[in-house]
């Protein structure tokens, strides 16, 4: 047990392969209440897969994942009830194009959580306003900019007050000038103390928001620690190489 | 670059009006070519028909104005039955097609026997000519005499025996198979990320289908579905062959054999066109609207 008490999320030896391709090769990770953990690493290092495994969108091959001390990867566990306790934001937003902005946020509350329409609507409007989307409730998602769409997606995932919010490269599909507004929304949630795991390519953002950074390389967490230490003084050569390459590309 | 560009430009030339003039000339030439080729092509076909040795006979037996005026009201009245059969069968087809498509799409193991059944249904009923199906259901089902049993009790006496109902069932079975495949294409075209997003929000698979996947699929397949409606509307005429009385094609047939003139059939054809052409234009507009988006 760590000083912060029982972790919200705990992964032990999580393994996942797609056919011959081993994407995750034994991931151990603990995420505590109010903690933000950033997953960094090259494309294909398993960041997205790890988040999808935690949300039970992928079935893991070996190991266990615990949510609030309760194993969620046991075949007997009802995946739907687990997903109701988690929130996932996708790289490509994945908003529902046939529903307007408000209904996108309402669907999970009303259908997934059985919340009354009036209460759900109050909460959805409040959240949308908080993310700077007041007045856009009736719009179809495709009328919004990428940054606005991703903020709707964050509001949608957060509306159900998940125990942990999983953010999968939420700025990677955005034009550079729209990245800031989405990061501001995430920053906001961090200030509020939302527990989160975020896969990201934005090193400066990881440094700012994450309490801890884990570097994934070929399906393993090869180095993890406080953001400042991992990003400024990494010990492992793989991490050093990765960060040097980002620096050369002007991304760090 | 700037130097080369200025060298080729003679001073004082108005490039804008030159280009506009060239565009006008091109449009004019295009219009003239289209007009001439239309006159030649359509005129050629008209000349071929009008000068054919049999034309006077065809004109008298297919396009007799008097016969047309006499027979049209009766056939138009009969056509109302076609419209009603079409509307009812269409509703049945839309529901049946969706159910079959869902059974073929959903991967729940418990549904495996139904999935197999749905696959066999589509294979069989899409493969049998509609006209044969109408015969088989129209004559075959009543011949089974399911409504009568040896001991006089009639547990299945509620089964329909009227030709118009049996004909409608045959059409629904055939078109249900086509429409199921249209729906299935629509269901498969909805991006996987939509299902993931719905599940991530805590929806069950069934809720994800109902609230996220089906609505998007149905929107996408609107135009191909309308295309099948148009085909169905025409094929309603096939129920005439199992003796449905009061149906437009059958009325036209009876009338034309009574007076030895085919004009009533032309009248019936016109009535079908009155429904199918507006549907086709609607389809065009719909697809144009979607292409813009």
* Strands ordered across the beta sheet of A9-18: A21-31, A9-18, A62-67, A70-71
> Which are the contacts of A48, defined by CB distance < 8 A and separation ≥ 6?
A91, A168, A169, A199
Q: Are A80 and A240 in contact (CB under 8 A)?
A: no
Please say if the pLDDT value at position B188 is more than 50.
Answer: yes
pLDDT at A229: 92
Lowest mean pLDDT across B147-156, B163-172, B173-182: B147-156
pLDDT at B288: 81
Contact residues of B toward A, CB < 8 A: 191, 193-194, 196-204, 207, 211-212, 215-216, 219
Grade residue A175 by pLDDT with cuts at 50, 70 and 90: confident
Grade residue A251 by pLDDT with cuts at 50, 70 and 90: low
**Within 13 Å and on the Cβ side, how many CA atoms surround A17?**
7
Candidate from A52, A83, A96 with C-beta closest to B202 = A83
Grade residue B219 by pLDDT with cuts at 50, 70 and 90: confident
pLDDT in tens, B73-91: 988 888 999 899 999 999 9
> Which are the contacts of A174, defined by CB distance < 8 A and separation ≥ 6?
A146, A147, A150, A182
Residues of chain B contacting residue A160, judged by C-beta atoms under 8 Å apart: 201-202
Once rounded to an integer, what is the mean pLDDT over residues A244-248?
87
Contact B200 A87 (CB under 8 A): yes
Contact A94 B197 (CB under 8 A): yes
3-state SS assignment for residue B158: coil
Q: Can you tell me the ipTM of this complex?
A: 0.93
pLDDT at B152: 63
């Amino acid at each position: 047990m760590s000083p912060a008490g029982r972790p919200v999320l705990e992964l032990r030896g999580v393994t996942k392969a797609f056919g011959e391709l081993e994407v995750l090769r034994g991931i151990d990770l603990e995420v505590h209440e109010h903690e933000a953990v950033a997953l960094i690493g090259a494309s294909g290092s398993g960041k997205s897969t790890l988040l999808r495994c935690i949300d039970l969108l992928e079935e893991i091959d070996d190991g266990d994942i615990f949510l609030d001390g309760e194993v969620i990867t046991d075949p007997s566990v009802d995946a739907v009830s687990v997903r109701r306790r988690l929130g996932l934001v996708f790289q490509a937003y994945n908003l529902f194009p046939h529903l307007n902005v408000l209904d996108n946020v309402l669907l999970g509350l009303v259908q997934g959580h059985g919340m009354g329409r009036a209460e759900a609507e109050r909460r959805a409007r409040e959240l949308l306003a908080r993310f700077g989307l007041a007045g856009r409730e009736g719009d179809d998602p495709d009328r919004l900019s990428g940054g606005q769409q991703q903020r709707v997606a964050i509001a949608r995932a957060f509306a159900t007050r998940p125990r942990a919010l999983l953010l999968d490269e939420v700025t990677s599909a955005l034009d550079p000038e729209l990245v800031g507004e989405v990061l501001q929304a995430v920053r906001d949630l961090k200030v509020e103390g939302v527990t989160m795991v975020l896969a990201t390519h934005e090193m400066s953002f990881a440094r700012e928001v994450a309490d801890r950074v884990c570097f994934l390389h070929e399906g393993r967490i090869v180095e993890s620690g406080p953001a400042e230490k991992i990003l400024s003084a990494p010990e492992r050569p793989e991490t050093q190489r990765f960060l040097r390459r980002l620096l050369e590309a002007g991304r760090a | 670059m700037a130097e080369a560009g200025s060298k080729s430009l003679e001073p004082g030339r108005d490039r804008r009006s030159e280009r506009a003039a060239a565009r006008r000339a091109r449009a004019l030439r295009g219009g003239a070519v289209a007009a001439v080729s239309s006159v030649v092509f359509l005129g050629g076909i008209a000349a071929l028909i009008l000068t054919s040795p049999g034309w006077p006979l065809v004109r008298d037996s297919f396009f007799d104005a008097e016969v047309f005026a006499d027979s049209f009201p009766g056939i138009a009245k009969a056509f109302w039955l076609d419209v009603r059969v079409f509307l009812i069968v269409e509703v049945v087809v839309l529901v049946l097609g969706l159910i079959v498509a869902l059974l073929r799409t959903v991967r729940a193991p418990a549904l495996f026997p139904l999935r197999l059944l749905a696959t066999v249904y589509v294979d069989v009923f899409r493969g049998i000519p509609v006209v044969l199906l109408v015969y088989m259901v129209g004559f075959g089902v009543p011949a089974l005499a399911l409504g009568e049993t040896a001991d006089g009790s009639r547990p299945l006496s509620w089964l329909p025996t009227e030709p118009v109902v049996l004909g409608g069932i045959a059409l629904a079975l055939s078109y249900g198979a086509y429409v199921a495949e249209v729906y299935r294409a629509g269901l498969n075209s909805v991006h996987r990320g939509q299902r993931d997003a719905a599940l991530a929000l805590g929806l069950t698979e069934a809720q994800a289908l109902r609230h996220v996947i089906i609505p998007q699929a149905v929107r996408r397949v609107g135009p191909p579905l309308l295309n099948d409606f148009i085909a169905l509307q025409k094929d309603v005429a096939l129920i005439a062959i199992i003796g449905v009385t009061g149906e437009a094609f059958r009325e036209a047939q009876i009338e034309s054999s009574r007076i030895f003139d085919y004009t009533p059939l032309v009248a019936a054809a016109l009535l079908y066109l009155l429904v199918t052409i507006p549907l086709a234009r609607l389809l065009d507009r719909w697809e144009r609207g979607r292409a813009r988006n």
